[in-house]
Copies of this chain bind each other. A is one copy, B any other.
């Protein structure tokens, strides 16, 4: 186990009707807020009205900025920053999923920075201050409701980049699983894949003696694998929606990588997919993760066997660990297909011609290379993309 620091200060307010508490929670931190949200869905569902009523009841003043799109855009972030400066806002409330929260986090750090907010995302500046933010979560997937990270796309250059700081952690995350009943099946499935990927990016590590966090990771993966099909078959099933929502938060609040080093190369490769054609992040991950594991599994066969046996209930072939490992990867791919996700690039119309651009554009996390479990250089990334064809 590696030395680590862990602290996550977000308050979770979880359960039925909890959205009604949003005004009272906001009031603990601010009196004039930016209400940030996405498409008109929250207006159709009535959630928008509930939020406004709760803010009014708490005498919280607000300005609003909707229109956040999946793979949230830098242009809107810049609009939010201007709005905040003009209006003297002291708190940002996101109502939505990961894209809205990530956009809010970018606004929160950009508004109190003299330079351009993209500096934090291209790595040329460190985050030192932020306006506090809070979340009313409607889509369990990104884990952004308690995470330290934010991912923004510069639509002009098609670059999708992340920034990270404890200052971005939301003060609170209000989570009512009932709000997820109306999610389309595809989005539910994408969320499941995203949550699983957050765990797997941490699970595949070179750190040794990480028994406890391995088991916590496995517990989280099994929860999603068990509950996602139930929620897809019965969208109004509170129990499975609640399990997915809570597991989605824990998957990405940094508990699961205490004492170990994550990899994140599949996420970085996926960012190129969604920057290229706006595929949903979870769907892109369902394509990349099986290909990635097929490419690297020999690097730590024991770990892949453990993954197959403990997570996918593969009947272990003790004399043939490779077979066991490959069966685990195959079951993961079958699972993604079974919940309606694409598992190859053809399904999202990306062909080999795009690979050179994607490889070139892919942000490296480890010097020239990508990832830590196995260092991936340009040719490796290309080989993984080929396995995903």
Q: Give the interface segment out of A10-18, A79-87, A99-107, A300-308.
A: A10-18
Whether A7 contacts B6 by the Cβ 8 Å rule is: no
Whether B4 contacts A11 by the Cβ 8 Å rule is: no
Q: Give the interface segment out of A181-189, A222-230, A312-320, A327-335.
A: A222-230
Q: Give the interface segment out of A154-162, A211-219, A336-344.
A: A211-219
Known A212-B247, A242-B209, A243-B211: A259·B219 in contact at CB below 8 Å = no
Q: Which among A10, A222, A243, A247 has the highest number of chain B CB atoms within 10 Å?
A: A243
Q: Give every chain B residue within 8 A of A177 (Cβ-Cβ).
A: 1
* Assembled-state Cα–Cα distance A220/B16 (Å): 28
Q: Does A120 contact B (CB under 8 A)?
A: no
* Assembled-state Cα–Cα distance A239/B213 (Å): 13
Whether B211 contacts A227 by the Cβ 8 Å rule is: yes
Interface residues on A, range: 35 or more
Contact of A239 among B10, B11, B209, B246 (CB under 8 A): B209
* Closest chain B residue, CB of each to CB of A208: B239
* Assembled-state Cα–Cα distance A211/B15 (Å): 15
* Closest chain B residue, CB of each to CB of A12: B6
Q: Does A2 contact B (CB under 8 A)?
A: yes
* Closest chain B residue, CB of each to CB of A222: B215
Q: Does A383 contact B (CB under 8 A)?
A: no
Whether B209 contacts A243 by the Cβ 8 Å rule is: yes
Known A211-B223, A242-B209: A14·B9 in contact at CB below 8 Å = no
* Closest chain B residue, CB of each to CB of A230: B211
Nearest-Cβ distance from residue A4 to partner chain B, whole angstroms: 5
Q: Give residues of chain A (100-123) contacting chain B, Cβ–Cβ below 8 Å.
A: none
Whether B212 contacts A220 by the Cβ 8 Å rule is: yes
Whether A13 contacts B18 by the Cβ 8 Å rule is: no
Whether A7 contacts B7 by the Cβ 8 Å rule is: no
Q: Does A5 contact B (CB under 8 A)?
A: yes
Whether B259 contacts A1 by the Cβ 8 Å rule is: no
Q: Give every chain B residue within 8 A of A14 (Cβ-Cβ).
A: 3-6, 258-259
Q: Give residues of chain A (1-51) contacting chain B, Cβ–Cβ below 8 Å.
A: 1-18
Q: Give every chain B residue within 8 A of A209 (Cβ-Cβ).
A: 238-239, 242-243
Known A15-B2, A15-B4: A219·B215 in contact at CB below 8 Å = yes
* Closest chain B residue, CB of each to CB of A14: B4
* Assembled-state Cα–Cα distance A219/B238 (Å): 24
Whether A10 contacts B7 by the Cβ 8 Å rule is: yes
Whether B243 contacts A1 by the Cβ 8 Å rule is: yes
* Closest chain B residue, CB of each to CB of A211: B243
Contact of A258 among B6, B12, B16, B238 (CB under 8 A): B12
Whether A13 contacts B5 by the Cβ 8 Å rule is: yes
Q: Give every chain B residue within 8 A of A5 (Cβ-Cβ).
A: 11-14
Contact of A246 among B1, B11, B12, B218 (CB under 8 A): B1
